[in-house]
Amino acid sequence: MARHPTRPQAPRTPTVYDVADRAGVSIATVSRVLRTPDAVREATRERVLDAVRALGYVPSGNARALAGNRTGVIGLCFPGHDGLEEDDRPSLVAEGGVRVVDDRRRGAGPSTPNLYFDEVLRGAEVEAWRRGFALMVAAGRGPARDVIVNDVAGRVDGLAVVARTVSDDLLAHVARRIPVVVLADATHPGERGDAFDHVSADNAAGMRALVAHVVGGLGVRDVVYVAGPPDSPDDAERQLGLAAALADAGLPPVPQVRGDFRRDRAFEAVSGLLVQRVPRALVCGNDQSALGALDAVRAAGLSVPGDVYVTGFDGVDGARFSDPPITTVAQPMADLGRAAVRAVVDRLAAPQAPRLVARLPVEVLLRESCPPVDTGM
């Protein structure tokens, strides 16, 4: 009788029990190392990780979900304010090449990425890792946004959503299944009547203090506001602070141009404004807009702060290292991301706890573009 060749058997997939046996610990300790490594002593953690690497062990997300009715993932949903359009998609058939561009008018070129969301994301990633969760990030525009959020909600244990990214009706629907935390809401949560947890920075108070410096400290009466996107919760709250500061000084509302939180669009808007007139101060909705305004003022042959004061909001590094450095309101961007993830995890642990409403403090940073009163500039 002919003998059939023996088929080689696939190597057995290592399990958590193999890791625990090799490291000389319990499977509970292995789980803690993989989910919350900071909670385990360093020597034990290294022993477990050595075993994981030696065995090539990879945790099974499906098995973990079945065992604990959890996915181990938290969702984070952003609006599509990144300036990328459908036509910006790179070609997959391009064969490389080099382009030489005259970039001396940088403000007129493509938008710089929104560094505010970069920092929020960084904080959320750090906190998710510390709490033993992975982070799933989603962004969308228009009608597709609700579809994306609903899909993500089915894959995560909890969801942090930037306010106005999706409708309150959809968030209420999602909140029946998983915890929902709303980031950066312009309206006080008590006025909305929702049951979500809320985490935001004190945008209104920050802008109020900044504008008080411009109109009160420096005595400026000719101000133009460079506004953000019409659906931005951050810009809505900053405009509340702007209006309050103007009212405090007995001044009427000021004219606006729209920069949409983008350097290129702010450059275009401010350039058009300067053809008509030169205001003494440009108060910008964010630092990217302030950088675009700075570009436009310089391109018009004017100086900052000699001819025009320029202020921003957020506290990104670009505003600190610009020429001149931009007066701004620094908000704790990374801390917002961390607080949002922390709120989701805390809600998972205590579903019946009182609703969280956290508003993080901000800091007004007076720099050369709109200096302190006593500098003599």
pLDDT of residue 33: 83
- Nearest CA-CA partner of 303 in 361, 370, 248: 370
**The two domains 73-82+112-201+333-360 and 203-331+364-375 share their CATH topology (first three levels equal):** yes
Residue 100 clears pLDDT 90, i.e. is over it: no
**What pLDDT score was predicted for residue 31?**
80
* 369 — pLDDT class (breaks 50, 70, 90): very high
User: Of the ranges 64-68, 94-98, 195-199, 286-290, which one carries the lowest mean pLDDT score?
Assistant: 64-68
- Segment 351-365 shows an average pLDDT of 92
Q: How confident is the model at residue 88 (pLDDT cuts 50, 70, 90)?
A: low
Q: What is the mean pLDDT of the chain?
A: 84
pLDDT for 117 beyond 50? yes
Fold of 16-59: 434 Repressor (Amino-terminal Domain) (1.10.260)
The predicted-structure confidence for 165-189, as pLDDT tens digits, reads as follows 777 788 888 888 889 999 877 655 5
For the beta sheet containing 197-201, the strands, ordered from the edge strand earlier in sequence to the opposite edge, are 134-140, 73-79, 158-162, 180-183, 197-201, 357-360
Domain ranges of the chain: 16-59, 73-82+112-201+333-360, 203-331+364-375
pLDDT of residue 359 exceeding 80: yes
pLDDT at 109: 44
Question: Is the pLDDT at 89 greater than 70, yes or no?
Answer: no
In the chain, the percentage of residues whose pLDDT exceeds 90 is 50
The pLDDT of 39-62, averaged and rounded, is 82
203-331+364-375: what fold? Rossmann fold (3.40.50)
Question: How confident is residue 102, by pLDDT bands cut at 50, 70 and 90?
Answer: low
Cα–Cα distance for residue pair 310/259, rounded to 1 Å: 14
pLDDT of residue 155: 86
Judge whether residue 97 has pLDDT over 80. no
Q: For residues 279 and 113, which has the higher predicted lDDT (pLDDT)?
A: 279
Q: Which CATH topology does 73-82+112-201+333-360 take?
A: Rossmann fold (3.40.50)
Model pLDDT, residue 82: 47
Using pLDDT thresholds of 50, 70 and 90, give the confidence band for residue 111: very low
Distance CA 185, CA 363 (A): 19
